[in-house]
Amino acid sequence: MVAHEVLCLRRRTTVATDVAEFAAPLVARGWRVHEVHDAQGVRQVLARHAVAVGLLWCPTLDDDSLARLQVCLAQAPELEWVGAFDAGTVEQAGVCEWVLACFFDHLRHPADPEELDRTLRHALARARLRQRSVGVPHLVDEQGMVGQSPAMQQLRQQLRKVASTDAPVLLGGESGSGKELAARAIHNGSRRALQPFVAVNCGAIAPTLIQSELFGHERGAFTGATTAKPGLIEAAHHGTIFLDEIGDLPLDLQATLLRFLQEHTIQRLGSTRSIDVDVRVLAATHVDLGQAVSAGRFREDLFYRLNVLPVVVPSLRDRCVDIPLLAEHVLRRCSAADPLRRIDGFTQQAMTALMVHPWPGNVRELCNRVQRALVMTDARLVTPEDLGLQAPEEAPGPGLDAARTQAERDLIAVTLGRLHSNVSQAARELGVSRMTLYRLMDKHGLSGRMPPLRPRSR
């Protein structure tokens, strides 16, 4: 028998023996229990296991633990949650609204093992039904990505391959397409996963400060440098540094970065001492660095140093089949962060509007529009107006003549297919002559050719 997975979230202060007694009946009934205590534990279990049901085992609640548990549940909005509380806990201020908004059901602690098993199975059935309703599994994969399109499957395969090495990676793609998420996936899949991941937006730091930010400085290196400070590269020692918008890096800093990539050492500003650093470099840009090299805005030698493993993150337009899944995922994640608002999904018009929108801002724009909709909507279903999108115009229906022509073509095609293209037999069934059927086939572009006329014998 294959065990059903359940994520069991409890406060760390709960007595462990009580938890063992609580979980043992579930294990005996075929459940595999993943016990966690905080938001990080929730994320780790979801990254490694196909969990669809969550169990919050928390007999008592105070304001602090309620706030922490709300953060934990926000990490897993796709789960169907069941709670087990002492009598009176659900009646506390704020708890009742939270349970109504975020839980499939709740039981009184101590819960009857049979009743708990039955409730969890009902929650599991609902979770599977909800997954089928969007056509593809609704979950975040082990790389933290949502989507089942061919472009995303190819991206996942590339990320797994480059994660196994320490070579530099250059991530390309449009703004908002998820390059930082891809960089984190590479780091989390590498041998450096437990070490620091430091993200730097090179375009957001003033040119006069970026050298100090990246490489650090010594005391007195410039006016205001009252103490020594390690740079971001040094802070990523043994881990990964992600240099976003690398194309905005000034030319003089490009030379310093190239030296670091070649020698794996840095010098703080105002120092003559070299510091050995073990850091993997991931870089990203939304511009064509090849063109920037030709225009003299980017060093060619640095480009080749960074472009060892190029990976392009697809735009949302290139994986539009993922839009319904992404929109549902963002909606549930945002709804979990605001449990007092209950939004069930999107209207058909809203989903159509999402599918036809060109998405110049990619996934970032989609997230922003869904967040906007949660604030603007007054109903249980999001409309195109809530998203700030224009409702799609309904295409006019075909005219009567066009409908007749299409029906005639379909009837001929179906008849010929059923009779294995036997034109004589098809003509008899359709009540027309063989010559008439050939003319109709020619009119509708169906396979078949009128036979040549034979001279009549005398």
Tally Cβ neighbours within 10 Å of residue 5.
Answer: 16
Exposure on the CB side of residue 300, measured as CA atoms within 13 A: 5
In the chain, the domains with their CATH numbers are 4-133 (3.40.50.2300), 150-312 (3.40.50.300), 316-387 (1.10.8.60), 400-443 (1.10.10)
Confidence at residue 137, expressed as pLDDT on a 0 to 100 scale: 41
Average per-residue pLDDT in the chain?
Answer: 82
Torsion sign over Cα 300, 306, 307, 312: negative
Question: Would you state the torsion angle of the CA atoms of residues 50, 55, 57, 63, taken in this order, to the nearest 10 degrees?
Answer: 100
Tally Cβ neighbours within 10 Å of residue 261.
Answer: 15
Quick: pLDDT tens for 423-438. Answer: 888 888 888 888 888 8
d(CA 27, CA 21): 10
Confidence at residue 140, expressed as pLDDT on a 0 to 100 scale: 53
Mean pLDDT over residues 47-61, rounded? 80
Quick: pLDDT tens for 363-416. Answer: 999 999 999 998 888 888 899 999 999 887 654 555 566 767 777 877 787 677
| Interior angle at CA 351, CA 347 and CA 355, nearest 5 | 165
| DSSP code, position 245 | T
Confidence at residue 12, expressed as pLDDT on a 0 to 100 scale: 64
Res 453 pLDDT > 60:
no
Q: Which residues pair with 200 in a beta bridge?
A: 243
Quick: pLDDT tens for 315-329. Answer: 998 888 888 888 988
Whether residue 83 contacts residue 59, with contact meaning beta carbons closer than 8 Å, is answered with no
Exposure on the CB side of residue 282, measured as CA atoms within 13 A: 30
Quick: pLDDT tens for 277-289. Answer: 999 999 999 888 9
Confidence bin at 3 (pLDDT 50/70/90): low
Mean pLDDT over residues 430-455, rounded? 70
Confidence at residue 131, expressed as pLDDT on a 0 to 100 scale: 62
Quick: pLDDT tens for 122-149. Answer: 998 888 776 655 443 444 555 678 887 8
Please indicate whether residue 241 or residue 348 has the higher confidence score (pLDDT): 241
Of 87, 123, 242, which Cα lies nearest the Cα of 171? 242
Quick: pLDDT tens for 70-117. Answer: 778 777 777 889 988 888 888 887 788 788 878 889 888 888 888 988
Tokens encoding 343: 């939004």
SS3 content of the chain, % helix, strand, coil (to 5): 50, 15, 35
d(CA 160, CA 132): 27
Mean pLDDT over residues 49-76, rounded? 79
The H-assigned helical ranges of 285-361 are: 289-294, 300-306, 323-337, 348-356
The secondary element (H helix, E strand) that includes residue 242 is: strand 240-244
d(CA 180, CA 316): 15
Instruction: Categorise residue 112: left if φ over 0, alpha if ψ from -120 to 50, beta otherwise.
Output: beta
215-224, 309-318, 336-345, range with greatest mean pLDDT? 309-318
Q: What are phi and psi of 383, to 5 degrees?
A: -105, 170
Of 381, 387, 353, which Cα lies nearest the Cα of 367? 387
Mean pLDDT over residues 283-303, rounded? 92
Confidence bin at 17 (pLDDT 50/70/90): very low
CA end-to-end distance (rounded Å), the chain: 83
Tell me which of 23-27, 180-184, 325-329 is least confident: 23-27
Tokens encoding 211: 């050298």
d(CA 370, CA 373): 5
- 384-412 residues labelled b (16+ CB within 10 A) or e (exposed): bebbebeebeeeeeeeeeeeeeeeebeeb
pTM of this prediction?
Answer: 0.57
Confidence at residue 167, expressed as pLDDT on a 0 to 100 scale: 94
Q: Which residues pair with 382 in a beta bridge?
A: 346
Give the whole-number percent of the chain exceeding pLDDT 90: 30
